[in-house]
A and B are shown apart, each in its own frame.
Chain A
Amino acid sequence: MLTRRHLLQGVAAGTLATIPGLSGLAFAETAAERDLLVVVFLRGGCDALNLMAPVNDRSYLDARPPELRVLDAGDRQGHRLDSDLVAGLDFRLHPEARPLAELYRAGHLAIVAATGLSNATRSHFVAQDLIERGIADEQKRLERDTGWLARYIALGASKAVVPAVSANPGVSAALLGDAAALAVPDLQGGIGIPGGEPVRAALMRLYRAGDDVVTRAGRQALANIAAVEAVLPRAPDGKVTPYQPENGASYDAGGDFVRGLQSVARLAKAELGLTTAVVDCASWDHHEGEPGRFNNMVGQLARNLAAFYNDMAKSHDRMTIVVLSEFGRRLRANRSQGTDHGHGGHTLVLGGHVQGGRLYGKWPGLSTPELDRGVDLAVTTDYRAVLAELLTRRLGVKDTGTILPGFAPPQPLGLFKA
């Protein structure tokens, strides 16, 4: 594999220096020092109360059939989590989440319970939009046309070639506004220019001048593609060699989520200065037929998140993974073996500097008076409290006002080691 040094030599020799946007570009001197933040977004509203719940809570037992809750006994009992969140409540992880339970017990994974939006919306559209803009007020949406991660990256004035990647077909809304953000759902096929060198040369000429949004984007794309292509290892037949995870990590054989994680791992290891990545894990909107689908999805999430973490073992000291969803789902199951849109969820925080093995936050309870609107898990920790703590404690941000406008961070939860 080409290293940063090789690539720099290529730039110096003029191999890449003719690419607008890449010539004269310096690799971030501190690229290796700045933390890598990986945000995994569970799109569709993950049923948090089927992922991690107090399995001996009477209200929980009454509200859901066994196939839609975490169990405390039997062949499919959940993984017990040591916790001092509420005396007497037995919090457990879904049985398919064994790899996450192991990371929790090893002290790498923390779970912040009952997190979410302070806004009351149950709309996927609004909730995802608010979270990706880093706000909670719907009235402010039109004032914020950039994503919270883009504003975070802008604060750092990174000169990295590829500071951010959205491992999805399009740029995540959290990265909107960062012109250098790369969107690559899968690097296995390479990202060469269609039509090869003649077309690339033509595009270089067609996009070399001009300041409109498309021309600038074209220039950026040509620079990004050249930089990534330069570090993708290829076999003699020209094909990108299959990704080889490190440290014995074993991903599932396929799927968008797996390809996304592997693409992030490839880029992170390629020394292009990657500091921010977003990976979507979609299709958590289970209004019907939830049991089988949810079990499969939790298994996929847990196995591959753990595989990625294992694969990235060399970066544990400078990497944090945050897993969140736009909202949780209703406590009471519906009559279609599913659950409807709810409110509070859980946020998972994983990394070498995380004070893991603990449940954080304040558990609001599941009796009707304790529920939001009498039906949903209440939110006791604003999702921005977790992000603000991450930004200030791990990512070197002193003031989160620009990134999370209008939010006054509360006392830190203590998620990170000193």
Chain B
Amino acid sequence: MRLIATSPDFARSAHTKVKRPLELAASFVRASGLDFQPTLAMLGELDGSGQRLFGWGPPTGHPDAADYWTSTSAMRRRWSLTLGLAENWWSTGIFDPAHPIGGGEVAAASVLDYWLPALTGRGEGGGELLAAMNLEADSVLATDQARRLVALTALSPGFQTR
């Protein structure tokens, strides 16, 4: 076990495995601290993502290949699944993006300082995220804006792998 855990190959394997949709959803719920309640609507979205829980027709198991989980429709569903969880589209629960950083109105840079490493394990990409929402680092965000910024962080490539 030590040999595996300390090997260069193991170190290089970080962020190379594409999360399956269930893992993607679960990792967002855990990272965000969302008070999660599963709903049929959310499970339906998960079903449409290509991961049919107990409903995979052929008895072969889902493919263990990145291509399958990153097809056009799979990517679209991944984005939908994460955005919907972040913004409570399916009544699965609400999370407060400002809570870990003191609550209330917060600066965009503060949101990214906490959530970018929390979600992606890395600190890069903040500039792109700010630009994606036409924000400055010192822009003060309402809760919905902060939630959208966190959601976009989870939609970014860095959150799609483990």
Question: Which residues of A are interface residues toward B (Cβ below 8 A)?
Answer: 43-44, 124-125, 128-129, 145, 166, 169-171, 173, 176-177, 179, 181-185, 191, 193-195, 199, 201-203, 205-207, 210, 212-215, 217-218, 220-221, 224-225, 280, 282-283, 285
Q: Is B63 in contact with A176, judged by CB distance below 8 angstroms?
A: yes
Alpha-carbon gap, A199 to B83, bound state (A): 9
B49 in complex: contacting residue of A128, A169, A201, A212, CB < 8 Å: A169
Over the window 137-162 of chain B, the binary record of Cβ atoms lying under 8 Å from chain A Cβ atoms (1 yes, 0 no) is: 00000000000000010011100110
| Distance of B45 from chain A, by nearest CB (Å) | 10
A183 in complex: contacting residue of B47, B50, B61, B161, CB < 8 Å: B50
Task: List 8 extra interface pairs beyond A173-B63, A181-B72, A206-B157, CB under 8 A.
Answer: A125-B61, A145-B65, A191-B72, A191-B76, A206-B156, A214-B161, A217-B66, A221-B72
Interface residues of B in 29-74 (CB under 8 A from A): 47-50, 52, 57-63, 65-74
Alpha-carbon gap, A284 to B66, bound state (A): 27
Of all chain B residues, the one with the shortest Cβ separation from A210 is B157
Q: Is B67 in contact with A179, judged by CB distance below 8 angstroms?
A: yes
Q: Is A183 in contact with B70, judged by CB distance below 8 angstroms?
A: no
Q: Determine if B75 is an interface residue (Cβ-Cβ < 8 Å).
A: yes
Q: Is A202 in contact with B155, judged by CB distance below 8 angstroms?
A: yes
Question: Which residues of B are interface residues toward A (Cβ below 8 A)?
Answer: 15, 18, 47-50, 52, 57-63, 65-76, 79-80, 83-84, 125, 128-129, 131-133, 152, 155-157, 160-161
Alpha-carbon gap, A207 to B79, bound state (A): 12
Query: Which residues of A lie under 8 Å from residue B57 when comparing CB positions?
Result: 43-44, 280, 282-283
Query: Which residues of A lie under 8 Å from residue B50 when comparing CB positions?
Result: 169-170, 183
Q: Is B72 in contact with A202, judged by CB distance below 8 angstroms?
A: no
19 residue pairs from A and B, CB less than 8 Å apart: A125-B60, A170-B68, A170-B74, A176-B68, A183-B71, A184-B72, A193-B79, A194-B76, A201-B132, A202-B132, A206-B157, A207-B157, A212-B15, A213-B66, A214-B160, A221-B70, A221-B71, A225-B72, A283-B57
Query: Which residues of A lie under 8 Å from residue B161 when comparing CB positions?
Result: 212, 214
Query: Which residues of A lie under 8 Å from residue B18 when comparing CB positions?
Result: 213-214
Q: Is B60 in contact with A218, judged by CB distance below 8 angstroms?
A: no
Query: Which residues of A lie under 8 Å from residue B59 when comparing CB positions?
Result: 44, 124-125, 285
Q: Is A166 in contact with B152, judged by CB distance below 8 angstroms?
A: no
CB-CB under 8 A for A171 and B157, given A128-B58, A128-B60: no
State the 10 A-B residue pairs at the shortest beta-carbon distance, nearest first: A282-B57, A217-B70, A202-B132, A194-B80, A170-B50, A221-B75, A183-B71, A171-B71, A221-B72, A224-B72
| Distance of A387 from chain B, by nearest CB (Å) | 20
| Distance of B145 from chain A, by nearest CB (Å) | 11
Of all chain B residues, the one with the shortest Cβ separation from A180 is B72
Query: Which residues of B lie under 8 Å from residue A166 when comparing CB positions?
Result: 71
Of all chain B residues, the one with the shortest Cβ separation from A256 is B57
| Distance of A399 from chain B, by nearest CB (Å) | 25
Of all chain B residues, the one with the shortest Cβ separation from A228 is B72
Q: Is B70 in contact with A213, judged by CB distance below 8 angstroms?
A: yes
Alpha-carbon gap, A76 to B99, bound state (A): 69
Q: Is A205 in contact with B131, judged by CB distance below 8 angstroms?
A: yes
Of all chain B residues, the one with the shortest Cβ separation from A326 is B58
